Amino acid sequence: MFDAERAAAPDVCAGAAVPEVPDYLERVYWWAYLRPASIRIFDRAPVVSAILWGQYRRLSNMALARIAPGERVLQLACVYGDLSERIARQIGPSGTLDIVDVAPIQITNVRAKLAGYDRVRATVADAATLRVDQFDCVLSFFLLHELPDPLKRQVVDAALAAVAPGGRAVFVDYARPARWHPMRPVMAAVFTTLEPFAAAMWRTPIAALASRPQDFVWSRASHFAGLYQVVVAGRSGA
């Protein structure tokens, strides 16, 4: 992990107070993210792959395809699996990767996972209140569906605001699957029982969560018969 050498990198939480763990996270997702056992159980490749019905590799490849060597990347929230490590490799020796997460235990975990990479910085911060604007790529990988609806909007706006001219925000998340999708009733049941904020992803396009969608060029790829979406919002160059 580096710090001092990265004079050019923006400080993702300059001047901001270290946030409290939000109520929704403690109430709804404590079992997934906030206990040492959560990390021991879930931060394993077979578990991550199973949760995404075998699509983790394809979806992370789709995100990685949007990141070029040498870029300044901001990852909103830690993710289980090896995506962050693959981003750190992809940006190479001249890129930077900033990871923010509101849960200190997740930041401790990702720092341990990426200890060998000296152009990675992990910071406790709330993705909804970031005030930065200098990143070539801002990635939100399965974060939005875990946020209460007003926070989805704040995080999308913060992600877009963090994109430098010529850069892009990449959102990988759930979407409404085809009617015939065999996983559709299963996911509906999962959302009802475990993920109360996720069903909104079936109703609301990600671009519609932005306050000023017209400032970006949007593209959307649907994956796995619609259950997943990869949305890219590009800001035109300077």
Q: Amino acid letter at 111?
A: R
Q: Which residue has the tokens 């959560």?
A: 38
Helix residue ranges per DSSP H, the chain: 23-29, 36-42, 45-51, 56-64, 83-91, 104-113, 149-161, 184-193, 200-203
Indicate the residue among 33 and 228 with the shorter CB distance to ligand SAM.
Answer: 33
Given the complex with ligand SAM, which of 22 and 213 has the nearer CB atom?
A: 22
**Residue pair 116/88 in contact by the 8 Å Cβ criterion:** no
Q: Which of 88, 99, 128, 230 binds ligand SAM (CB under 6 A)?
A: 128
* Closer CB to ligand SAM, 91 or 147, in the complex: 147
CA–CA separation, 168 vs 139, rounded Å?
9
Q: Are 147 and 173 in contact (CB under 8 A)?
A: no
Among 13, 63, 114, 127, binds ligand SAM (CB under 6 A): 127
For residue 180, the minimal CB distance to ligand SAM (Å) is 26
Identified binder of ligand SAM from the candidate list 9, 16, 25, 183, rule CB under 6 A? 25
Cα 135 to chain center, whole Å? 14
> If DSSP codes are grouped into helix, strand and coil, which group holds residue 138?
strand
Instruction: Decide if 159 contacts 12 (C-beta within 8 A).
Output: no
Cβ nearer to ligand SAM, comparing 79 with 132: 79
Residue of 67, 73, 78, 99 that binds ligand SAM (CB under 6 A): 78
Q: Quote the least distance from Cβ 80 to ligand SAM, whole Å.
A: 4
> Could you say which residues in the range 91-120 bind ligand SAM, by CB under 6 A?
100-103, 106
Residue 120 or 127 having the CB closest to ligand SAM: 127
Q: How far apart are the first and last CA of the chain?
A: 31
Site for ligand SAM in 129-188 (CB under 6 A): 141-143, 146-147
Q: Does 231 bind ligand SAM (CB under 6 A)?
A: no
Residues in the site for ligand SAM, rule: CB under 6 A?
Answer: 25, 33, 48, 77-81, 100-103, 106, 126-128, 141-143, 146-147
